[in-house]
Structure 1
Amino acid sequence: MQNEKLKIPEISETLFIPLAARAHETLRVNGVIRDEKAVEFLSRADTSNFIVDGGSISTLGILARTKIIDDEISKILSSVSKAVIVNLGAGLDTRYNRISCEEVEWYDLDLPETIELRKQFVGETDIHFIAESILDESWTDGIRTGEGNAVIIIAEGLLMYFGEKDVQKVLQKIAEAFPKADIFFDVVHPFFMNKGISSKFLWGIDRVKDLEKLDSRIELVKSWSMGSLLKERQPWLLRILNILPSTRKRSQIIHLKVKERDSIE
Structure 2
Amino acid sequence: MSLNLQSVQGTMLIPLWGRATASEKNPEILNDKEAIEIIKGFDFDFTEIAKTFGEYGGISYIVRARKIDDTIRAFIEKHPRATIVNIGAGLDTSFSRVDNGTLNWYNLDLPDAIAFRQSLIPDSPRNISIAKSFFDVSWFDDVIFNEGDGILFISAGVFYYFQENQLREMFQEMALRFPGGELFFDAESKLMLKTSNRTVEKTGNKGAKMYFYVNNPKVLECWSTRIKVLSSEPYFKGMPTNKLWESGTQLMMKVVDLFKLMKFVHLRFEKIC
Q: Which category of TM-score, normalised to the shorter sequence, fits these structures?
A: 0.7 to 0.9
Q: TM-score, normalised by structure 1?
A: 0.87
Decide whether the 8 Å contact of 2:256 with 2:262 is kept in 1.
Answer: no
Q: Which residue of 33, 43, 52 corresponds with 2:50?
A: 52
1:133 CA drift (Å): 0.6
Listed as ranges, the gaps of 5+ residues in structure 1 are 1-5
Query: Measured at CA, do residues 83 and 239 of structure 1 come closer, stay the same or move farther in structure 2, by a change above 3 Å?
Result: closer
Listed as ranges, the gaps of 5+ residues in structure 2 are 201-207
Q: Which residue of 255, 258, 270 corresponds with 1:241?
A: 255
1:186-212 deviation digits (Å, cap 9, x = unpaired)? 111112345424322201121111111
1:148 CA drift (Å): 0.9
1:23 aligns with 2:12: no
- How do 1:218-233 residues align onto structure 2 when only pairs under 5 Å count? 218-228=227-237, 229-232=239-242, 233=245
Query: Measured at CA, do residues 124 and 189 of structure 1 come closer, stay the same or move farther in structure 2, by a change above 3 Å?
Result: closer
% identical equivalent positions:
27
Give the aligned partner of residue 146 of structure 2: 146
Give the aligned partner of residue 212 of structure 1: 221
Query: Measured at CA, do residues 182 and 124 of structure 1 come closer, stay the same or move farther in structure 2, by a change above 3 Å?
Result: closer
Decide whether the 8 Å contact of 2:227 with 2:268 is kept in 1.
Answer: yes
- What is the aligned-residue RMSD (CA, Å)? 2.1
1:131-158 deviation digits (Å, cap 9, x = unpaired)? 1111113121111112411100011111
Query: Measured at CA, do residues 46 and 206 of structure 1 come closer, stay the same or move farther in structure 2, by a change above 3 Å?
Result: same
Q: TM-score, normalised by structure 2?
A: 0.85
Give the aligned partner of residue 67 of structure 1: 66
Decide whether the 8 Å contact of 1:193 with 1:200 is kept in 2.
Answer: no
Structure 2 distance, partners of 1:260, 1:52, is 45
1:11-37 deviation digits (Å, cap 9, x = unpaired)? 344101111111113322544101111
Give the aligned partner of residue 118 of structure 1: 117
Secondary structure of 2:124's aligned partner:
coil
Q: Greater helix percent: which structure?
A: 2
